[in-house]
């Protein structure tokens, strides 16, 4: 698949330009219905809904079939930038500024006969009504729980290659780096962005990294925010405190109850605690406060849930012995 990544700029003209750049082997006339490319691109400024027709032409034209064409993998990364901020009761929706573009993308992929594929990466689930249909329901939810140790070490190896960090000749420094990396893997709690940030500290300033990792350990154990600016900003941008307020008292009670378990538990078990606390499981999942897994016994047939590792430190007080019993 021909990879096209949309990130940070989500307007119709930028999306069309990125696709044509990736598919430069194909002529643009087939994509624009015969219109001159410059004229068509400019028209998207005033009429972003034209993006749907453009995408249909692409998906059922040069990107239709493997073998004879160039099927595309369109990745809309950090999709939550196109969503309204989650609110206490209403489902998270696409922001008014982006509704036309998102509708165009989802309708085009829904209706086109094509070998091309679409991936949206988002912390939150969302709704996008289109008449009697919710276009979000045409998507398949692919569960991405926090990374395990194997994935985090793969990420670290990739980071070393991309930053050319394999040339350290001093054995003592290499050993110290390995110790710090092991610590970062344990404290990053499976969050790719946090791991990358911690790796950066280790390689830019190993002495400062020890202090940063100590502050991260305090967050993990006590929920206290770090003093180091970049790390503090990263955690604040996750808005865990705000999301917990949106969960409400019953949601908080459900999250606290689920800290009882060290492994993801089946939804049938979670339902018992839903009945006891009144918490809304779907709401917690849509806010990203609970992680979803394939169940370790039943696999994909059964959904399993666990409190997000970056969320758990903020759930105070810890369960008392009588609650655990």
Residues 6 or more apart whose CB falls under 8 angstroms from that of 164 comprise none
Per-range mean pLDDT, top range of 7-16, 24-33, 67-76, 290-299: 7-16
Tokens of 111: 């209706």
Residue 168's pLDDT band (boundaries 50, 70, 90)? low
Q: Is the pLDDT of residue 170 over 80?
A: no
Cα(130)–Cα(114) distance, integer angstroms: 22
CB 126 within 8 A of CB 135: no
**What CA–CA distance (Å, rounded) separates 135 from 277?**
32
Position 178 pLDDT exceeds 60: yes
| pLDDT one-digit tens code per residue, 237-274 | 888 988 999 999 999 999 999 999 989 999 889 999 99
DSSP assignment of 202-270: HHH-HHHHHHHHHHHHHHHHH-PPPSSHHHHHHHHHTTHHHHHHHHHHHHHHHHHHHTT-SS-EEHHHH
Residue-wise pLDDT for 24-80, tens only, equals 766 555 666 667 877 888 888 888 999 999 999 999 988 888 777 789 999 999 999
Using CA of residue 202, residue 309, residue 247, residue 225, what is the dihedral sign?
negative
Please tell me which residue, 2 or 87, carries the higher pLDDT value: 2
């Amino acid at each position: 698949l021909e990879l096209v990544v949309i990130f940070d700029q989500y307007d119709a003209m930028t999306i069309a330009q990125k696709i044509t750049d990736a598919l430069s082997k194909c002529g643009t006339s087939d994509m624009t219905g015969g219109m001159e490319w410059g004229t068509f691109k400019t028209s998207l400024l005033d009429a972003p809904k034209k993006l749907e027709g453009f995408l249909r032409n692409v998906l059922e034209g040069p990107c239709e079939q493997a073998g004879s064409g160039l099927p595309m993998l369109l990745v809309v990364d950090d999709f939550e930038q196109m969503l309204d901020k989650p609110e206490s009761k209403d489902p998270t929706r696409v922001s008014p500024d982006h509704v036309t573009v998102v509708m165009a993308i989802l309708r085009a992929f829904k209706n086109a006969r094509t070998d091309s594929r679409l991936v949206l990466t988002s912390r939150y689930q969302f709704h996008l009504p289109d008449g009697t249909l919710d276009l979000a329901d045409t998507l398949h939810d692919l569960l991405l729980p926090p990374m395990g140790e194997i994935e985090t070490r793969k990420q670290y190896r990739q980071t070393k290659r991309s930053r050319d960090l394999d040339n350290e000749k001093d054995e003592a420094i290499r050993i110290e780096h390995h110790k710090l990396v092991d610590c970062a893997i344990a404290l990053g709690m499976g969050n790719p962005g946090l791991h990358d940030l911690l790796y950066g500290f280790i390689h830019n300033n190993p002495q400062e990294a020890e202090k940063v990792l100590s502050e991260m350990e305090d967050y993990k154990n006590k929920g206290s925010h770090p003093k180091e600016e970049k790390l503090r900003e990263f955690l604040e941008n996750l808005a865990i405190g705000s999301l917990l307020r949106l969960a409400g008292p019953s949601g908080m009670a459900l999250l606290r109850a689920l800290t009882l378990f060290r492994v993801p538990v089946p939804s049938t078990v979670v339902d018992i605690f839903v009945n006891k606390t009144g918490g809304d499981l779907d709401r917690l999942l849509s806010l990203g406060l609970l992680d979803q897994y394939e169940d370790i016994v039943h696999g994909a047939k059964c959904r399993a849930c666990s409190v997000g590792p970056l969320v758990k430190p903020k759930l105070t007080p810890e369960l008392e012995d009588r609650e655990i019993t």
